[in-house]
Amino acid sequence: MLKTKLTQLNQELSRHEAYQALNSVTSVRTFMEYHIYAVWDFMSLLKSLQQHLTCVDVPWIESKQDPEVVRFINEIVIGEESDLDPEGNAVSHYSLYLKAMEEVGADTSRIKQFIETQDLSLIPDGARQFVEYNLEIAKNGSDVEVASAFLYGREKLIPDMFTAIKDVMSSEKVDCPTLIYYLERHIELDGDEHGPLAEKCLQALCGDDAAKWQSAEDIAVESLKLRSRLWDAVLAAINEKREKAA
């Protein structure tokens, strides 16, 4: 089974040194300056799934997918693209994350320049390879490939990572309500709702087709390897800043 084969990779990733390095506000800022690109390209995978699995064409034709899968995709699009902020205003999670970055003093100039220009060379090494891979999957991958990258590169990893960051900000008594709200929202959604539904989505797409499961496994393994390289880049950047400060 795919889940069994990926257990070791997931466990290794969950023990990455970058998690232990997230022990100060400065390190969290650095993390966010890299992770924002993953927040952004997550939407490309999601929108690709929406194109693959629901109908966004005119005239409308009902999707052939399981209605529960269609509902899941539409629900997560609503949540990610137009969730409610702490004041009850509609906002995308990308914009919410940018606001949280500014709240804790992280640099947002580089990601904003990238969004304006779409120049991939502006993305830091480590993050760039991750983004390039996911954009390629989003644009040219099959529905199974996109769903696998979406599930194993993203949804299954989020709760533990965000819980660690939340603990740091709480222990240092940092006043960052937007960030805490964002973290709690994703811990709730990804752990309790989106993660299990994303897994169900992949199961529905693969069924009993061994070739599809193999394709899902290949994408999942590569997604986890690239996520690990992203954490490598985060760790290197954190250590570099610590050395300069010393």
pLDDT tens for 175-193 read: 999 999 998 888 777 656 6
Name the more confident of 8 and 132: 132
Residue at 244 is within a domain = no
**Any domain includes 246:** no
**How many Cα atoms are found within 13 Å in the side-chain-facing hemisphere of 188?**
7
Residue 2 lies in a domain: yes
pLDDT at residue 154, as a whole number: 65
Domain count for the chain: 1
Q: Is residue 37 part of a domain?
A: yes
What is the pTM (predicted TM-score) of this model? Answer: 0.91
Across 118-141, average pLDDT: 95
Tokens 């996520």, residue located: 227
Percent of the chain with pLDDT over 90: 60
The answer to whether residue 30 sits within a structural domain is yes
Dump the DSSP string for 121-145.
GGSPTTHHHHHHHHHHHHHH--HHH
In a domain, 80, yes or no: yes
Say which CATH number the domain at 27 has: 1.20.910.10
Q: In terms of residue numbers, what domain contains 96?
A: 1-7+20-235
171 vs 139, more confident:
139
Q: Answer yes or no: is 241 within a domain.
A: no
pLDDT of residue 130: 94
